[in-house]
Amino acid sequence: MNARSSAIGVPAAGLAASPKSWVADFVLLAAIWGSSFLFMRIGAVEFGALPTAAVRVAIAALFLLPLVWLRGLMPALRQHWRRTFFIGLLNSGIPFACFSFALLSISTGLSSILNATVPMFGALIAWLWLKDRPGAWRIAGLVIGFAGVALLAWDQATFKSGASGIAPGWAVLACLLACVCYGISASYTKRYLAGLPPLVTAAGSQTGATLGLALPALWLWPARMPGASAWLALLVVGVVCTGIAYIVFFRLIENAGPPRALSVTFVVPVFAVFYGVLFLGESVTPWMVGCAAVIVCGTALSTGLLRPGRRR
């Protein structure tokens, strides 16, 4: 998110009366975003972190820009290109690079669990920046969520380099930096890009991220050309996990409303862990499961999705 869902300039929509119209999209989006960690891991092993992020956003931009043109939205993109390009670096370029770096030394499951803190960071930054003060239960959720992150990070707190040459502690910090960037971009979008067509924001952000990462990616481009499997992984993560995922998310916003759409973040780790175990042979520890439960509960409270004592 990844993430990335609360920061694309989508206007609020009413909740649909029947869940049948959005449940399939909800599950599909969680499955797609859960797979992004797997494909980024495959690509990063051969491309490296920055080139992986750059290729991902470049493919997404090439996928989304023709849609903007076909829908006659190019004038809106030209008018707002500065802010959409900037949000692209904050909402895609830096986070994708951070997660690609982290996935070289920690599991896809662990990185996806850390990614589930995005709404929590978003709530905290909105409080500090937009003065959107949370109530008592939401503050309690922030405390619980950050306690879960601390417990999970403590288990990976070593800063001694592992087999990949990257210490797990640095990888965890990279994931948290990505989540902070997502949180900042959410508040920035709410303040400066409200009302802009979401497809314009999505395409502009991916284009901006591509331009921002181009030179560093070329500088760090691998001396040996990556294999077909790595290219295929980045093609999938660019088109499916970024381009198509945005379209599914927009439809979910329209049919289910923003609160339910944002809660997809809590389901993404389930798919990410499953893919990691099935395709990469990763292991899941009881400690990870317990910390994930604490993080999800804290995030649900901090975002207002879970309110004890609320009548349904």
- pTM confidence score: 0.83
Q: Which residues contact 10 (CB under 8 A, 6 or more apart)?
A: 198, 249, 250, 253, 258
Per-residue burial over 60-88, b if 16 or more Cβ lie within 10 Å, else e, is: bbbbbbeebeeeebeebbeebeebbbbbb
Please report whether residue 117 resides in a domain. yes
Tens of each residue's pLDDT in the chain, 312 residues: 554 444 333 344 343 445 556 888 888 998 999 999 999 999 999 999 999 999 999 999 999 999 999 999 999 999 999 999 999 999 899 999 999 999 999 989 889 888 888 878 877 888 888 777 778 887 888 888 888 888 877 766 566 666 667 788 899 999 999 999 988 887 888 788 878 888 898 899 999 999 999 999 999 999 999 999 999 999 999 999 998 887 888 777 667 765 566 677 778 888 998 999 999 998 888 888 888 888 888 877 876 766 676 554
Q: ∠ at Cα 247 (246, 251), nearest 5°?
A: 115
203: containing domain: 18-302
Cα gap 228→236, rounded to integer Å:
12
> Which 3 state secondary structure label does DSSP give 157?
coil
Please report whether residue 312 resides in a domain. no
Q: Are 84 and 204 in contact (CB under 8 A)?
A: yes
| Nearest residue to 119 (alpha-carbon basis) of 242, 4, 30 | 4
| Nearest residue to 270 (alpha-carbon basis) of 115, 81, 125 | 115
Q: How many domains does the chain fold into?
A: 1
Please report whether residue 75 resides in a domain. yes
